[in-house]
Amino acid sequence: MTIADPAPPPSPPAPHPAPPETTRPAERNRKVQRIVILGGGFGGVYTALNLEKIFRRNEGVEITLISRDNYFLMTPFLFEAGSGVLEPRHAVSPIRMMFSRARFVDAEVERIDFNARKVHARHTPDNFEYDVEYDQLVIALGGITNRSLIPGSEKAFGFKTLGDAIFLRNKIIDLLEQADVEEDVDRRRKLLTLVIIGGGLVGVELMGEMTEFVHNLLRSYPRIPRELVRFVLIEAHNRIMPEMEESLAAYATDVLWKRGVSFLTGVRVKAIEEGKVVLPEGVEPATIDAETIILTAGLTANPLLEKLPLEKAKNGRVVVDGSMRTSSHHEVWALGDCAAIPDKNGNPYPPLAQHALREARVLARNIAAVVRGGRDAKIEKFDYETMGMLASLGRFRGVGRVGSFKIRGFLAWWVWRSYYLLQMPRWERKIRVVLDWTIALFFRNDVVKLDLFGETHPTRKSPCPPQTPVAGVQQVD
C-alpha cells in the first residue's frame, strides 16, 4: 500500500554499515501481494478475517481494509440500539481490535482507478487523501436505503446505520417531550404518530421494537393519553414479511396488531411530504399526518458503484460469477449487498448478513488460490442453502424458521438472540451485550435524550451574556 504522505526529510548518513542480508535472492525478488478490501461490514470484515487465517504465516501478503467507520456494525442489533435496550456502542465492534495482522484504514473511498490499480480514499473531516495500490481488490461497500421509489423519500428517516438508530431514539423522546406540553389534539396526534413504509423483515422488526419502546417510555409521560399514539405499517405486497411463509407473517401481524399497529397492505405510497404520507387514490385516509416517517422499503446499490466501469445488474449491484469475480477485471471481486452473485439457478442471492458471512469464506479461499497459484488457480463457486430466517418482534416475541421447524413467540425470540449473540465478534462485546440485556429485564427504557452537539452548535443558546461594547472599540458583527 502506498500512502500519499508528505515527502520524508533526507535521512542522515548511517552510523554503522548495513547488516548483511539474510533473505535468499528468490525471496528478495518476490513481489508482495497487496489485497485491498473496501467496506467494513459483514462482507469486508469477514473476508479480511478469513484471509488473516489463511495467510497467518505468509508475510508475502498484505491485507488492507478501508472503511468509513472504524467499527463493524452488527445490523441485527440495530433495533435494540435504537430503543436503548442496548448501549449503541455495544451493537458495534472496533475493527482494529478484531484484526491480528490486517491493516485498517479509516477513510471514505472516492474513486477506483482500475488501470493504475489504485483506490483513492479520503479521511474526513480533515480531507487527508490516500492512494492505496492493490493487486487483488474486494468490493464490499454494501447498499443504501432506496429513496428512488417514492417521491419525497428524502423527507423520511432511514434505518441502516448506527447514526440512524441514535437519531431515531432521540427524535422519539423529543416528540414525547413536545406532546407532553402540546394542548392541540390534532397536533398532539401528529407528534405521536409513527409510520414505517416497508413491511419486510427490517420494517417489521423495527416496528416490533418501536412499539415496545414507546409503550415503555409512556410510563414516564402520564399526561399523554395512550389513545393518541398511533403506529402504522405500510407494505406494497398484499401481506407483511414476504420473505417468510404466510403463517409466520400472520403470527407477526397478530403480535403487532395487539400492540396497536394498523396495517395498510397492498398499498404503494404515492409521496412523502413534510410531516405527511400521501396514499394513492381510493385508499382511505388519503394522507397520514406523522412526525416520524421511516423508510425501510428496500435497498439500492452503493452510489459509488455507478461510476465504476464494471457490469451492473438492474438494481445497480456489481455482476460477478459464482466465484464472486468480475468478468472484465480478473483481479476485482465483489460480495455482500453490493454484488449480484448467481445461485445454482442463476438468481442472485438475497442481501443478507448470513449470506455475506459465508460468501466471505469462499472469496478468501479463492483469492488465496489466485495469489498462490496464479492464472491456473482452482477457484470455487459460492453455493449456499439458507438454514432459516428469524425475526425479533421486540421483548420476548419472535418468529421464524430453523431448518424445517417453524418457531414462534418466546422460543423464536430466544433463538434469535442467542444466534446473533454468538455471531457478535469478540468476547468483550458479547459480555457487554449480555449485561445490557440483563439490565433491560429489570429496568424500563430510560428517557434520556442524548445531546449530540458541542456547545458551539447553533441549536444551543450561547451560555455567554451579550458582550457590552468597550468604549473606543468598534464592534464588528
Residue 142 interacting with ligand FAD (CB under 6 A): yes
Residue 140 interacting with ligand FAD (CB under 6 A): yes
By beta-carbon proximity to ligand FAD, the closer residue of 82 and 182 is: 82
From 139-147, 229-237, 421-429, 442-450, give the range in contact with ligand FAD by CB under 6 A: 139-147
By beta-carbon proximity to ligand FAD, the closer residue of 49 and 140 is: 140
The one-letter amino acid code at 419 reads Y
Count of other CB atoms within 10 angstroms of residue 435 = 13
State which of residues 354, 382, 398, 412 lies at the interface with ligand FAD (CB under 6 A).
Answer: 354
Residues 256 and 230: their CA atoms lie apart, in Å, by: 12
From 50-58, 128-136, 185-193, 330-338, give the range in contact with ligand FAD by CB under 6 A: 330-338
Instruction: Give the side-chain half-sphere CA count within 13 A for 80.
Output: 29
Size of the site for ligand FAD (CB under 6 A): 30
Give the angle subtended at the CA of 321 by the CAs of 316 and 322, to the nearest 5°: 120
CB of 234 vs ligand FAD, minimal distance in Å: 18
Residues 151-190 that bind ligand FAD (CB under 6 A): 159-160
**Closest of 149, 409, 135 to residue 270, by C-alpha:** 149
From 13-21, 68-76, 237-245, 468-476, give the range in contact with ligand FAD by CB under 6 A: 68-76
C-alpha cell at 381: 463457486
Residues of 254-282 as b/e, b for ≥16 C-beta within 10 angstroms? ebbeebebebbeebebbebeebbbbbeee
Residue 337 interacting with ligand FAD (CB under 6 A): yes
Residue 304 interacting with ligand FAD (CB under 6 A): yes
By beta-carbon proximity to ligand FAD, the closer residue of 61 and 301 is: 301
Phi (first) and psi of residue 38, to 5 degrees? -105, 120
By beta-carbon proximity to ligand FAD, the closer residue of 182 and 337 is: 337
Task: Dihedral sign for Cα 384, 387, 393, 395, please.
Answer: negative
State which of residues 67, 153, 193, 253 lies at the interface with ligand FAD (CB under 6 A).
Answer: 67
Residue 316 interacting with ligand FAD (CB under 6 A): no
C-alpha cell at 13: 548518513
Q: What is the dihedral of CA 341, 356, 144, 197, to 10 degrees?
A: 100
State which of residues 36, 43, 298, 301 lies at the interface with ligand FAD (CB under 6 A).
Answer: 43
State which of residues 52, 108, 131, 343 lies at the interface with ligand FAD (CB under 6 A).
Answer: 108
**Closest of 131, 122, 119 to residue 37, by C-alpha:** 119
The one-letter amino acid code at 192 reads L
C-alpha cell at 458: 447553533
State which of residues 41, 88, 199, 208 lies at the interface with ligand FAD (CB under 6 A).
Answer: 41
Contact of 264 with 235, CB cutoff 8 Å = yes
Residue 88 interacting with ligand FAD (CB under 6 A): no
Contact residues for ligand FAD (CB under 6 A)? 39-44, 67-69, 75-76, 78, 108-109, 140-142, 159-160, 202, 302, 304, 336-338, 351-354, 356
